[in-house]
Amino acid sequence: METPLTPLEFQRRALALYPDRECVIDGETRLTYEQFFARCDRWSAALQRLGVRKGDRVAYISLNTHSHLESFYAVPQTGAVLVPINFRLNSEEIEYIVRHCGAKVVCAHADFLETVESIRGSCPEVEHCVALEGGRDGWLDYEQLTAVEAGHVDRPDVDERDLLTINYTSGTTSRPKGVMITHRNAYMNAIGTLVHVPMTCRDRYLWTLPMFHANGWTFPWIVTAVGGVHICLRKVDPVQAFGLIRDERVTMLCAAPTVLIGLAGCPAEHRGEVPAGVRVLTAGAPPAAATIQRIEGEFGWELTHVYGLTETAPFITVCESRPEHEVLSLEDRSVVKSRQGVELITSGELRVVDEEDVPVPWDAATLGEITVRGNVVMEGYYDDPDATAQAMRGGWFHSGDAAVVHPDGYVEIRDRFKDVIISGGENISSVEVEGVLMRHAAVQEVAVVGMPDPKWGETPHAFVVLAPGAALTEPEFTEYAREHMAKFKIPRKVEFVTELPKTATGKIQKYVLRSGRAAISTQ
């Protein structure tokens, strides 16, 4: 009686139970579950007419649209493998991914047709290019293809160890690596998320998170599993987001800390009345306690911090709320909520280990690396056995994240190992320093990196984005830092900038800051 663990099971259930309920809102487009899955079937049939078979790769470069959402069902139900690509990559990086995964079909939103067209000649394995929106000569038209009656859709048997998606890492220090996520990986992450962050068919989910990023943290399947409503936000604009939150009665969203900072920093006259009670899941970078205070204290929203990586499908910890947290002040509770937390029930075993792979004591001080093994860990890196062996050594996935464990078992990331600043023999956590500096009322964002120093080896260097209308001098900022942290942790240099370089998922690119590249602009 065993059936494979696959998020396609959520499709079957939703179609049976919620056919007439609203499924997706994308501008003027509104689709019920029956209409949505009919479109998925028509696209599946079209892909099969184009020669797509089990195991073939279908790549997508798209904003958060209903057609992109359809890919998470239409592609895998044919047995093919979905490859969602970061649309903010340059043409060379996109070309590498398309060629590396061997995509047979590339589907692109109108904004990215030119990019794909520019690399098309150097991607011989691509047999078809499909314009999801906006026609172009020599391209197939998605809407025309999905307008054709589906006919028979061949649904091959799915093994839960079959590949569901290949998700490419950002490749900030090397070529992007293709993370192989199985049907089982995604199913277990979806179930584990629902255990810790329950949703129902009353929920209305706003797509502030890019769907390409770790499969939208599996929310293309989670929202469908409960019969909720997907509300598409094509580009993260705080004013538009607040408008949708009000008009479409949004109850939940996911966002990287940088998106939360953007929402919190949106002037009151532009954001209007902010409905209370919205539930927010944040991950992608450790959120500053000050950001949490703003979201919960000013907006009355409920924030949950989760942690994971693309390689872990993606969640492995959740900062679950406990009764003892509820009696804390907002400021103290925000400090706890900024920690990564404890294992999800379904994610597997997590350890923080030293260089000898021995678990560190739960003393909130001893630094170690987060390692994990269990149901959500990737199958490996596509066509890269050496990188797979390195990441999976000893039967554990090694995250590269430096963390401590508190006496209550809550994990707290102190840095990426490559971002730990070693100054005069002292280890300085850039995340810890950033958290302190973010508490200054004039600061909107801050990044701290180590810069070479002839005496100390390296010293902290802060890049600061001020809040709109705020004013602050370097001596004033340094004095604030002196009052709130040890002397050796105080940034030796403060640079005020208008923006910080970031990945598409909101992670600050510290290697850019260290390199001194002109990717930021000075205020």
Q: For the segment 291-314, what is each residue's pLDDT rounded down to a tens digit?
A: 888 899 999 999 999 999 999 999
In the prediction, which pLDDT does 517 show? 55
Sheet containing 380-381: order of strands: 140-141, 128-131, 103-108, 57-61, 81-84, 163-168, 178-182, 380-381
Confidence of residue 414 (pLDDT cuts 50, 70, 90): confident
Separation CA 132–CA 147 (nearest Å) = 13
Separation CA 42–CA 448 (nearest Å) = 50
Separation CA 413–CA 341 (nearest Å) = 10
In the prediction, which pLDDT does 519 show? 45
Nearest to 68 by CA among 94, 48, 87, 53: 87
Quote the tokens at residue 503: 């990945």
**Regarding predicted confidence, which is higher, 219 or 428?**
219
Whether 133 has a pLDDT exceeding 90, the answer reads yes
When pLDDT is averaged across residues 410-438 and rounded to a whole number, the result is: 84
In the prediction, which pLDDT does 518 show? 39
Amino acid at 201: C
When pLDDT is averaged across residues 338-347 and rounded to a whole number, the result is: 95
Confidence of residue 505 (pLDDT cuts 50, 70, 90): low
Quote the tokens at residue 170: 């950002």
Q: How many CA atoms lie within 13 A of 127 on its CB side?
A: 12
Q: How many CA atoms lie within 13 A of 453 on its CB side?
A: 18
Domains of the chain from N-terminus onward: 33-181 (3.40.50.980), 236-416 (3.40.50.12780), 420-515 (3.30.300.30)
List, for residues 50-95, the tens digit of each pLDDT value.
999 999 999 999 999 999 999 999 999 999 999 999 998 889 889 9
When pLDDT is averaged across residues 134-161 and rounded to a whole number, the result is: 91
Pairing relationship of beta strands 81-84 and 302-308 according to DSSP bridges: unpaired
What does the buried/exposed string (b/e) look like for 108-126 if buried means 16 or more CB atoms within 10 Å of the residue's CB? bbebbbebbbebbeebeeb
Residues above pLDDT 90, as percent of the chain: 75
Whether 427 has a pLDDT exceeding 80, the answer reads no
Whether 520 has a pLDDT exceeding 60, the answer reads no
Concatenating the DSSP letter of every residue in 218-269 gives: THHHHHHHTT-EEEE-SS--HHHHHHHHHHTT--EEEE-HHHHHHHHTS-HH
Question: What are the angstrom distances between the C-alpha of 346 and each of 191, 223, 376?
Answer: 8, 18, 8
Whether 172 has a pLDDT exceeding 70, the answer reads no
- Taking CA 66 as the corner, what is the angle to CA 117 and CA 206, rounded to the nearest 5 degrees? 120
Separation CA 426–CA 460 (nearest Å) = 12
**Regarding predicted confidence, which is higher, 162 or 266?**
162
